[in-house]
Structure 1
C-alpha cells in the first residue's frame, strides 16, 4: 500500500500537524515524529454483514468504552485516537478507544473487537479480536486501506483480509470490499457567527428588469418549409419484406417460452458450499445449469401484444433450497414455484409462490424488472429479452427477512417466448441434474449428501420442529434471504420462520 506522499496530502516538511474535519495540514519543519491526539475513526466493517447480524442471525451490536454506532444499524465510530505523525515520510499511526461486541444466540457466536489501529504507511487497519470466549488475538489485520488521494482522509476504500473472513465467520469475506473508512479530528465548531445573514438579499430588485420582451421574436416562420415530401418516398420500400412468409399476429397467446434466472449467485453459493451446507433441487420442469448455475423454467403460457409493448407469461418448474440441517430437520427450507413475468413498455415485475417451512404464500412480488428496450420486437416469431435487470422489491425484502434491503440487485433475467408453435426457442445451455450439493456436484434424485447434510430430495414442504444447525460462526457472503429465517411480511404474506436451537445456548 503506498505511503501518503507530499503530493497526495499537499504537505510541506512539518513540525506540527493539525486535523480539522478530516483534513491533514502541516506547519514549520523540525522534528520527525509529532504527537497526535483527539482523532476519531468511522468504519462500518461491511453493510451486508451488519444486516445479516441484526436480520437473519437475530443478533446485536454493542458499542462501548468510547465506541458508538450510528442509528438504523449504521457505521461504528471509535474515538480518542492518539499516535504520531512522521513529517519526513508524511505518514501517521493512530490507536483508538472503543470495544465492539457482536453476538447472536440464534447462530451461536460471540465476537469482540477492540484497540482499533490505523497505520497509513502500511495501509492497514488492525484490531484485537476475541472469538467465542477464546484467547485474545492482538493486532490482527482486518482490512487493507487505500491511500488518500488528497488532504482529507475520508471515504478511504477498504478490502477485507483473510483474517477478517475468519473473524466474521465466512472465508468468502476475504478479499471482499468493506465499508469505507474515515479518519478525522473534529473541530471545536465555531458556528456562532450568523452575522452574515442580515446583510443578505436586499438586492434582488435587479430581477425586475423587463428584458424578457425579446422572446416574441416572430422567427418560427422557418418551420413550414415543405421539405417533408421526401418521407412518403421511403414508405413503399418497407412492405416488401412481409409478403414472403406469414408473420405472427401483433397480439395473441404465447405458444411456449423459457425464463432463465439464478435468484442470486451468492445465495446459491451460500446454500451449497457456504454456511448452510445444504442443497438445491430443481423440479417440475425447471433445471439448473451445471456448476451450481442459474435455473431455467419452461412451458410458458400467457399473452403478448407487440403494439402495446406488453407481455405476461407464467412458467412451469420449482426450485428448492435446503440448509442448516440438524438431525434430519432444516432451518432453511424454501421453495420458489409458479414464476410469472409481466413486462409493459420495458418495465415489469417477477412474482412467485413462496413455500417456506411448509407455509405457502402465492404471487409474492419478488422483483421489479427493467428491460434494455421498451419495445417487444419478435425475431423469427420469438420475443427475447436478455439481461433484464431484477431489483428486490419491498415485499421481497420483507419476505426474505430484510437481509437485503429494497433495491438490492438480484441476478438478471433472460426471457424468451415463442409466438407460434413452429418458432424455435434459444438454447438454455448445458443443464445439471435435479439436485446440486456441496462442491457443485449434482444428482438426478433420491438421496444426496452435502457435508453434514443427509436427507431425501423432496419438494418444498416444511419440516416442523426444525432447528438451525450448529454452524458456530457460519456467516453468509451476502445471500438473498440467507434465510434460515424469514418472518411473515404484511402485504407480502411470506413466511420464513427462524428455527431456534433446541440445545442450550
Structure 2
C-alpha cells in the first residue's frame, strides 16, 4: 500500500471511479472486466506553442475563438478542452481520452482559417490528435504533437509533428518543442449503479481506504520520477516568440569578491580612498539586446535587413546584444538609486523596395534609472523621420533593491525589462505592452581608474563592432496560408504566403504583392520605421 500511495492522485481518482462503477478486482471480477476502467470528467490544457499564439494575435492580427465548452486563459494563454471521457486498460496500461470543445483560428490579414475539434490523448501512442477543418474540409485525427507521458499527467513535454507544421503554417515547427500538456480530472462522477451483489472476499478487509487494485499508469514505460518538460519558446513563447530570454543567474551584488586581496592591499594608501556613497558616475556601460526575436527578424528571410551599432555602441558577434558606453550621471548606494545616460545608437533596417526601407528604426541616447530595485529604460526614438525624445521603452526590475560598489564599480546584472505602452507604440505595435524584452546589464565606474567588466548584457558574451547579416528563405508549400519559408535562398509567394521561421520559432507572414507595397509606403502589417540622422558629427 505505501508504494501505491506515491502514485498520481489523478490516476488514483480514476481507479476510485472504476471502483464506484463496479469494476472491482477485489471482488473477484473476471480479467476481462478488470481490464477496462472508465474515465470521465477530465480536462486537457495545451497552448500549442507560445510563439504561435503570439504570431496569430500580433503579427497576423488574428483571433482564437474557443467554442463548445473550450476556453482560453487570459493574456492569450493556453487552451482548455473539457468533459474528457475514455478508459484505462489495466492490461496494456493504455489511457485514451477524448475531449469536448473546438478552437477556431483565423487571420483575415494573412488569409488563413482553421478549426481544431475532437481533441484526443493516447498514452500508448504518446500523442495528441485533433480533427482539423480547413477550406471546408475536415481531416480526422490529425497527429499534432508527440508527448513525453508521465504518471502525473501534468506539464508533460510535447514536440510538434511534421503534420502540425503543415496545419499551423511553418515547416520549422516540425520537431520543435510545443507547450507543455496537462490532463487532470476536474469532475468526479457520482456513483449511479447499485452496489455489486457478489459475495464479499473472505480475506480480511483492507485497513487502508484506498483501492488496492492496480492503478493506471499513463507512461508506456513507467519510471519512478515524472519526466520534466522541455522549456518552451515565446518569446515566443512568442512568441514572437514568446517569445523572451531568461537571464543567467548573476553573482550577488552584495557578496564580497571571492578572491581576497593581499594583506598590503587591505589598507588604502594616502591617495587610495574608498569611493563615496554618492556622487558622479565616471564611466560605464549598458548591455541590452532589445529583443532577440526582433534582431533575428530584422536580418532574417522576411525583412532581409541589417542591424548597425554606431556612435560608440557595439554589437556582439552572431547578431548578438548591444553595448552602450561612456556613461554619465549620478549614483547613491545608501539610497539605492542610479541615474545613468549612455552614448551610442543602434539602427534596425529592413524591407527594402526600390531603395526605400519599410523598416528603419534608430534608438539612441539611452538612459537607465533604478530606485530601490525598480526603474525605467528610455531612449530617443526615430521612426520614419519622426523623432521622439526620452521615450520610456521599458520598466526595469533588478534582482536586488540595493546597490553595492566593488572596486569602485557598481554592476547590476540580469535586470528584467518589460515593454511599456509607449515602447509598444515606438515599435509600431510589433509587440504588445507587457512583453518581456531582453534583460539589461548595468556597470558604472565611480572613479576614473576603476576597471569596468567586459562583455554585454542580454545573455550574450563578448563585445564586437560587427553587425547582423542578411538572410533569405526558400518557399515551400502547405500550411495555413500557402508558402512556408525554410532557411536559405529567397522568399517567393503572394499575399497568401504563409509563415517563415525567424530563427526563434516565431513565424512571420511572407510579404508579397499589395502587402509589400503597403509596407514600402509605411502602412503595412509590418511597421515602418526610418532611421534618424545623427546630429553628432
**TM-score of the aligned structures, taking structure 2 as reference length:** 0.61
Quick one: distance in 2 between partners of 1:358 and 1:83? 61
1:125 aligns with 2:124: no
Distance change (3 Å), C-alpha of 1:98 and 1:344: closer
The count of aligned residue pairs is: 407
Equivalent in 37, 44, 47 of residue 44 of structure 1: 47
Quick one: distance in 2 between partners of 1:481 and 1:260? 27
**Hey, what does 2:286 align to over in structure 1?**
259
The alpha-carbon deviation at position 77 of structure 1 amounts to 3.9
Quick one: distance in 2 between partners of 1:25 and 1:314? 73
**Hey, what does 1:436 align to over in structure 2?**
469
Quick one: distance in 2 between partners of 1:12 and 1:315? 60
Distance change (3 Å), C-alpha of 1:37 and 1:371: closer
Equivalent in 440, 453, 456 of residue 426 of structure 1: 453
Quick one: distance in 1 between partners of 2:90 and 2:507? 49
1:103 aligns with 2:106: yes
Quick one: distance in 2 between partners of 1:362 and 1:414? 22
Equivalent in 387, 397, 415 of residue 388 of structure 1: 415
Q: Which has the larger radius of gyration?
A: 1
**Hey, what does 1:180 align to over in structure 2?**
181
Name the stretch that deviates more: 5-14 or 113-122: 5-14
The alpha-carbon deviation at position 289 of structure 1 amounts to 0.4
Superposed, 1:188-203 pairs within 5 Å as none
Equivalent in 463, 469, 472 of residue 498 of structure 2: 472
Alpha-carbon displacement from aligned partner over 1:126-168 (angstroms, at most 9, x marks no partner)? 224466x498665443233343434xx5x44342324334543
Root mean square deviation, CA, Å: 4.5
Quick one: distance in 2 between partners of 1:168 and 1:262? 29
Distance change (3 Å), C-alpha of 1:274 and 1:391: farther
Gaps of 5+ in 1: 191-236, 440-449, 454-467, 485-496
Q: Is the 8 A contact 2:394 2:417 kept in 1?
A: yes
**Hey, what does 1:168 align to over in structure 2?**
168
1:317 aligns with 2:344: yes
Partner SS state of residue 500, structure 2: coil
**Hey, what does 1:91 align to over in structure 2?**
94
**TM-score of the aligned structures, taking structure 1 as reference length:** 0.65
Distance change (3 Å), C-alpha of 1:343 and 1:80: closer
Name the stretch that deviates more: 361-370 or 321-330: 321-330
Quick one: distance in 2 between partners of 1:283 and 1:469? 36
Distance change (3 Å), C-alpha of 1:147 and 1:483: closer
The alpha-carbon deviation at position 287 of structure 1 amounts to 1.3
Alpha-carbon displacement from aligned partner over 1:408-451 (angstroms, at most 9, x marks no partner)? 54322222223344444333334042443339xxxxxxxxxx96
Superposed, 1:98-497 pairs within 5 Å as 98-129=101-132, 133=135, 139-150=141-152, 153=153, 155-163=154-162, 164-170=164-170, 171=172, 174-184=175-185, 186-187=187-188, 240-241=267-268, 243=270, 245-273=272-300, 276-323=303-350, 332-393=359-420, 395-396=422-423, 401=429, 403=431, 406=434, 408-428=435-455, 429-438=462-471, 452=490, 472-474=498-500
Quick one: distance in 1 between partners of 2:496 and 2:380? 29
